[in-house]
Amino acid sequence: MSNVTIYHNPACGTSRNTLALIRNSGTEPTVILYLDTPPSRAELLQLIADMGIPVRALLRQNVDPYEQLGLAEDRFSDEQLIDYMLQHPILINRPIVVTPLGTRLCRPSEVVLDILSDTQLGAFTKEDGERVVDEQGNKLK
């Protein structure tokens, strides 16, 4: 069993890049397709606590439920925001990666490099053509 877990959406380029960076370190992570298998309330609260971010920082804004529910308005409690994320998992921003070195919302994808214990095995270029790791496995930024 892997000691790295990614809450992944294969339709998301940032999520795909993050997964590829994890695999470029020689690690095969546990992949949770969170739209199909959303975290429980307790798991979501733990992820947010482990990331050390406000609940609102995990809200994905450019999706239909965000607009429909009026979530841009600052009138919702953290509990209400959690309720909406559990009812509409698409509202949970991604990818979230959990490793022994920490838990992060990996936006941009190269944030994952800060919490991987294994170094990159080789060069890595994101889907958009941006090189983020050189041939020696070093982070370029």
Choosing from 6, 7, 8, 12, the catalytic residue is: 12
Q: What is the mean pLDDT of the chain?
A: 96
Question: What average pLDDT does the segment 105-126 reach?
Answer: 96
- Using CA of residue 49, residue 22, residue 128, residue 32, what is the dihedral sign? negative
Active site residue 106: no
> Which residue, chain included where needed, has tokens 């022994």?
100
Amino acid letter, residue 126: K
Host H or E run for residue 90 = none
* All domains in the chain, ordered by first residue: 5-133 (3.40.30.10)
> Which residue, chain included where needed, has tokens 């990159």?
120
**85-103 residue pLDDT tens:** 999 999 999 999 999 999 9
Q: Label residue 1 by pLDDT band (50, 70, 90).
A: low
The pLDDT assigned to 2 comes to 74
> How far is CA 68 from each of CA 38, 54, 60, rounded to the nearest angstrom?
21, 22, 13
Question: What average pLDDT does the segment 27-50 reach?
Answer: 97
3-state DSSP call for residue 92? strand
79 pLDDT exceeds 80? Answer: yes
> Which residue, chain included where needed, has tokens 């509990």?
79
Give the residue from 28, 120, 104, 107 showing the smallest Cα distance to 62. 107
| Gap between the Cα atoms of 84 and 119, Å rounded | 37
Host H or E run for residue 8 = strand 5-8
Higher model confidence: residue 140 or residue 130? 130
